[in-house]
Structure 1
């Protein structure tokens, strides 16, 4: 049976596929280039010889298919580049194993009397600063208040004790910093951590360095390779 409604067949095709719950494309539920080509062939096979498809319409659909194919190829190339970039990052990250690095981060580790240092810097002067320390369950175990600090780079060394002065269990702790200026305005504080790299892992398409104390830092956020420092010899500046 011939049909003269060729222009409406794409809409009919999509409606039938939706009714059957069959995705048109592998990932996004859209019409893929193979489906588009089959649909075009079906239109040609079923068009009415007495009322064939208009040349302009046919050329337009071919142009759509060409554009779809180009976009698909570009998508595949971008995916390949991304995968290659992740592999290169992993190879580069392996070279950091055994080295002491510094990177953006907000966690410190406690192992007996050894507590890692948190480094922070500010572009503006802070009248008051609050260092809030949280355990791995998100419970606040201590708040340390600091007085005025000029813009610059500093170190924070926690004594490993809670509000009551008791030693907290060994592990990793998150430190958040709240700072305000002399007029109560918020002051931006950037933090970083350091540690010896013991391993490399990939998560969500990104490479991470695993430190010897269990902390994890983003490889892309490593700022420098530093000398090993003893937390016991560090004092608050």
Structure 2
């Protein structure tokens, strides 16, 4: 029976080679500390030995440093896992409509548009303005409410004379009165999510109108045909 050839390229010298582990800065500090401590104990005056409390304090300090480094490593690992989980969760948003802070929205030419306005405590006489893609104001919508917080208002897509506006991209702004002054209101609108990306500020959701929002800022999610 023919025997299988055996490669002669194996480096047998590696069997007895001892690998040198790279020590962390904290481990190197611990080594230096222990060497200094042993040297200090060896050279101390027998008639005036080192205070036990002082020795214990020094050991506690180096252990604290070691513990902080391990905690930082653990937290860094957890942050990486959390970021990865956020990316996977955000990926499920692709193709769905998300409600998030912003002023851009799409009107399909028939269905009423769901707009949201953040009304501060004590604000009144809120009014929204609708603009077309040429930044021309085409409608005004009163925000009639006595409540504060995120208020929902439906816009029927009509101008003041009852004419239905064409389908397309629109924007909304809103103002109110508070303490005798005019204030701008924060708005939230629906947009279809097109893609997600991991940026310097975390997971970003890229929307159909070219804008983007932070994953953590999303208020509500629904099917795109909802």
TM-score by length of 1: 0.56
TM-superposed deviation, 1:55: 3.1
TM-superposed deviation, 1:43: 2.5
- Counterpart in the other structure of 1:49: 43
1:119 matches 2:112: no
In structure 2, the gaps of 5 or more residues are: 1-23, 159-167
Alignment of 1:66-215 (within 5 A): 66-103=63-100, 105-108=101-104, 118-122=115-119, 126-129=124-127, 149-151=144-146, 152-155=151-154, 177-181=174-178, 184=180, 189-215=185-211
Find the residue that maps to 1:127 and give its secondary structure: strand
TM-score by length of 2: 0.59
Q: CA distance change for structure 1 residues 130 and 101 in 2, over 3 Å: closer, same or farther? A: closer
State the Cα RMSD in Å.
Answer: 4.2
In structure 1, the gaps of 5 or more residues are: 1-25, 27-31, 136-140, 160-169, 231-237
CA distance in 2, matches of 1:154, 1:147: 9
Find the residue that maps to 2:153 and give its secondary structure: strand
**Contact 1:124–1:150, Cα closer than 8 Å, also in 2:** no
Task: Count the aligned residue pairs.
Answer: 178
CA distance in 2, matches of 1:50, 1:209: 65
- Counterpart in the other structure of 2:214: 218
Cα deviation 1:86-109 (Å, max 9, x = unaligned): 100100111111112222x12316
